[in-house]
Amino acid sequence: MHADNNTTVNPEPEAVARQAIPADEIENLARQIGEKLGEKTGKPMRQITQMIEICGPAFVEKILADTEAAEAAGGILTHDKKRRRTKGGVFFFLAKGEMDPDSLARVFPNFGKHGDGSIMPPGIDWAERLSHMEALREAPGRINNLTVNLIGRPGALHIEGSSVMTVIEQQDVKAPPYPKGVPPFDTVEDVTRYYVFMGLRHWRKVEKPLENEDDMLVIEGSAIYDEQLGGITVLSTGVSTKVLESQKRQQGKKSAGQAVKGPTGGKSGGLARMITEPPDLTGLPEESADKLRQLFSAAEKLRQKIDSTEDKGQNSGLAMTRRLLEQTEKQIATLVKQYNL
């Protein structure tokens, strides 16, 4: 890496740096730099510590001096030129510009890349999201309905009357490949607690299956932030397990095709949803036959997407995918009934 005066600044190898500087001194130096930058906890402090360990204290102190100079000169604007970076943002911006590729990849593994590995266009800096959101908070939108899909293992239980309570923690969250425009972030190591409330009747259905430690609890419900508990409260509307859900899908596939016609040969209302393969389309108008083929193909892709999302333990977009599948299956049912297939 090169400093502004064209002299080479070589970061100390990690092993040498750790031998030369005791861990408590690294921690103290990181804390001092963090205080000067206005950073005290979380990912910024971990990154400052890593920079000291990998690049050495001399490099980090130089970047801090350059930061002070840049701030005294009026600061550095963000990519969109709409506002001035925070002091911590200036520090990390300058550090990224002078670190060698290997050190950069170790301290900022997502720098310059989106979740799918493509080069990320100028956009939101995850570390600077707070100031944007604080401004947007002055003109918020409104939620009509919010649901969550929580998959995991339950903790200890408290059963009282017809209610069941448990606490489930989310740790070491890693950024999935979000769509372009959504900023990537490094692993989030802070704990988020979910305070789950279930009906006893729902719990009794999953209690036995969850004796299998490889099975996972699946909860759908409403989510609210509970300030007194300091976490997210989930009010369950549906409770199942991964194994039970898989069994339902398998049963649905076995029933596919058998539900197209009723016992008298007529169409059985509401059963077309279970059809997973197109029936015989001979004799249908070509436009309608093509439409059905497209709908069946779309439905199968949506089912695969749901299965893949659930298998990965994710819930981002799951509710929307299920709604799309339901709408697609309704269109199939309408056409199947129309042509008495």
20-24, 114-118, 155-159, 236-240: the lowest-pLDDT one: 114-118
CB-CB contact of 231 with 155 (8 Å): no
Supply the pLDDT for residue 109: 75
Name, in order, each residue with C-beta under 8 angstroms of 120's C-beta and a sequence gap of 6 or more. 112, 113, 114, 180, 183, 184
Supply the pLDDT for residue 198: 93
Supply the pLDDT for residue 206: 94
pLDDT band at 76 (very low <50, low <70, confident <90, very high): confident
Supply the pLDDT for residue 250: 77
Angular region, 173: left φ>0, alpha ψ -120 to 50, beta rest: beta
Residue 103 in this model has a pLDDT that exceeds 60: yes
CB-CB contact of 130 with 169 (8 Å): no
pLDDT digits 0-9 by tens, 163-204: 999 999 887 666 555 666 676 665 555 678 899 999 999 999
CB-CB contact of 56 with 25 (8 Å): no
Supply the pLDDT for residue 83: 79
DSSP 64-119: HHHHHHHHHTT--B-TTSSSBPPHHHHHHHHHHHHS-HHHHHHH-TTTTB-TTSSB
pLDDT digits 0-9 by tens, 261-310: 444 344 333 433 445 566 666 667 777 777 888 888 788 888 878 877 77
Supply the pLDDT for residue 313: 66
In 3-state terms, what secondary structure has residue 158? strand
Average pLDDT of the residues in 25-45? 85
Assessment of whether the complete model's pTM goes beyond 0.95: no
pLDDT > 90 fraction of the chain, expressed in percent and rounded: 14
Residue 12 in this model has a pLDDT that exceeds 50: no
pLDDT band at 72 (very low <50, low <70, confident <90, very high): confident
Integer-rounded Cα Rg, in Å, for the chain is: 27
Tell me the residue type at 86. T
